[in-house]
Amino acid sequence: MKKLIVGNWKMNQTLPLAKAFFSELKTVELEHEAWIAPQALHVSTCLHMSPDFIKIGAQNISNEDHGAFTGENSSFSLKELGGKFVIVGHSERRHLYAETSSLCAKKIRKALSHGLNVIYCVGETLDEREQNKTSQVIETQLKEGLHDLGPYASELLIIAYEPVWAIGTGKVATPDQAQEVHAGIRKIVGDETRILYGGSVKPENVVELLNEKDIDGALVGGASLKAADFIALCQAQL
């Protein structure tokens, strides 16, 4: 079955490196769907450099369309450029920039209203996992972030489960640990909504994760920066 691999480049990659990355991608036919979120300043250039089969999106977005919001980027402008998706509520946004699930709810509604796909990230910290609070934390993040959306199973909505303790640490959740949380998320969002796993996904562990029933793809940081690794992820044989 076709899965979705989303590369989150964070504040990495130079334009020459991005160009080389996309040139390499143009030479292959990918098994799975592939999306890339470069830093906002690179979105426009990446839209021109990337092959047509790659969707380009943003790592964060404003909850407003226009106006006096210095430094913000709007869904309206992303859509106007040709961007296709936004990531909302990444743990780095939550922990470094104090973004709350209720702010995420506003961003999600705004992006969906412009027809953009939204990847809404949820995940527990190590402390929360050790206190057996994982499902409670995820449920609250989902309830607050998806509050007032109407039917959760909007085709445009995607959930990413990213345990905070697994992001950029090399500590990946075991397939069982990930599947258990994904099954809980599935009960809340339904069968139509894709659920990605994120947190130290790499070519060596992607197959066992993607083989889990409720894991529809991966949100990948570090291993999405090099074309060879990203291609390997997108070619995973399941």
Active site residue ranges: 90, 162
Residue 57 engages ligand PGA in binding (rule: CB under 6 A): no
**Residue span binding ligand PGA (CB under 6 A) among the ranges 13-21, 25-33, 145-153, 216-224:** 216-224
Quick one: which of 57, 123, 145, 199 contacts ligand PGA (CB under 6 A)?
199
What angle, rounded to 10 degrees, do the helices at 101-113 and 134-145 form? 50
CB of 59 to ligand PGA, least distance (A): 9
The residue assigned the tokens 């922990």 is: 95
The bridge status of strand 4-8 relative to strand 117-122 is unpaired
**Which residues, at least 6 apart from 54, have a Cβ–Cβ distance to it below 8 Å?**
22, 25, 34, 35, 36
- The nearer residue to ligand PGA, 103 or 121, going by C-beta atoms, is 121
Binds ligand PGA by CB under 6 A, chosen from 198, 215, 227, 236: 198
User: How large is the greatest C-alpha to C-alpha distance in the chain, in angstroms?
Assistant: 48
Exposed/middle/buried for 72, CB within 10 Å: 0-12, 13-18, 19+? middle
Nearer to ligand PGA, 38 or 199 (CB): 199
- From the list 56-64, 66-74, 180-188, 213-221, the region that binds ligand PGA by CB under 6 A is 213-221
Question: Token match 């980027």: residue?
Answer: 73
> Which residue in 111, 178, 220, 234 binds ligand PGA (CB under 6 A)?
220
* Range 155-194, binding ligand PGA (CB under 6 A): 162, 167-168
Burial 98-127 (b: 16+ CB within 10 A, else e): ebebebbbbbbbbbbebebbbbbbbbbbee
Amino acid, res. 201 = V
Considering the complex, state which of residue 167 and residue 195 has its C-beta at the smaller distance from ligand PGA: 167
If binding is defined by CB under 6 A, does position 214 make contact with ligand PGA? no
Q: How far is the CB of 234 from ligand PGA (least distance, A)?
A: 14
200 belongs to the binding site for ligand PGA (CB under 6 A): yes
Q: How many CB atoms lie within 10 A of CB 67?
A: 8
Give residue for tokens 């869904």: 75
The residue length of the chain stands at 238
64 and 110 Cβ atoms separated by less than 8 Å? yes
222 binds ligand PGA (CB under 6 A): yes
Q: Does 221 bind ligand PGA (CB under 6 A)?
A: yes
Q: State the number of binding residues for ligand PGA (CB under 6 A).
A: 13
Residues that bind ligand PGA (CB under 6 A): 8, 162, 167-168, 198-201, 219-223
